[in-house]
Amino acid sequence: MELERAKAIAERFKELLGPSCDQIEIAGSIRRQKTDVGDIELLVIPKYIAGVDMLDAKIQTLIQLGTLDYRLNKLGRKVYGPKNKLLLHVPSGIGVDVFSTTEECWPVSLVVRTGGKKTNMRIAWAALEKGYQFHAYGSGFTTPQGEIVCHSEREVFETVGLSYQRPEERG
């Protein structure tokens, strides 16, 4: 799908889902400003009220209304859990992937979910070369000296000796 159309749909979902999240950001190829968008990726920190996941409740409402539906992964399985929700925007047919994280893990999750694949691999390889382990679903890196928690996207890059790249520079 063309970037501007995908961005408009993503912004609408950000608006619809925002009140049920403590934090929400458009990630993936839209954040990288790619001209051709394969799916919409949203990174979220769900809001809980009295133990109820408000994001899940909102998504279920959108499914009942026919705006969203479940989408199957490459193995033909439905992926809809507390962390990853693969959905389909019914009117346009574009995939909408919702990835949940925590405040502590937000900077790493934003880097990983923004991508691209090459950038994520560069970070992981640079970590290995330093003797670190990159935690794509965590808050940073495990090193021989202990854990490093990253507090910004810039720190994720710089911790392993890479120059920070703005989202549109990432591949």
Q: Which fold has domain 106-169?
A: Beta Polymerase; domain 3 (3.30.210)
Distance CA 26, CA 70 (A): 19
In angstroms and rounded to an integer, the radius of gyration of the C-alpha atoms of the chain is 17
Per-residue DSSP letter, 76: S
51 dihedral zone (left: phi>0; alpha: psi -120 to 50; beta): left
Domain ranges of the chain: 3-100, 106-169
**30, 32, 35, 37: which is closest to 11 by C-alpha?**
30
What's the pLDDT at 53? 96
- Can you name the residues that pair with 41 across neighbouring β-strands? 97
21-26/39-46 β-pairing: antiparallel
What's the pLDDT at 81? 94
pTM of the full structure: 0.94
What's the pLDDT at 90? 98
Distance CA 156, CA 108 (A): 7
pLDDT averaged over consecutive 10-residue blocks of the chain (171 residues)?
A: 98 98 98 97 98 97 98 93 96 97 98 97 98 96 97 98 98 90
Q: Which fold has domain 3-100?
A: Beta Polymerase; domain 2 (3.30.460)
- Can you name the residues that pair with 70 across neighbouring β-strands? 87
Distance CA 122, CA 53 (A): 35
Instruction: Specify whether the CB–CB gap between 107 and 128 falls below 8 A.
Output: no
Mean pLDDT (the chain) is 97
- Could you tell me how many residues make up the chain? 171
What's the pLDDT at 76? 93
What's the pLDDT at 9? 98
Structure-block tokens of residue 142: 């495990």
What's the pLDDT at 46? 98
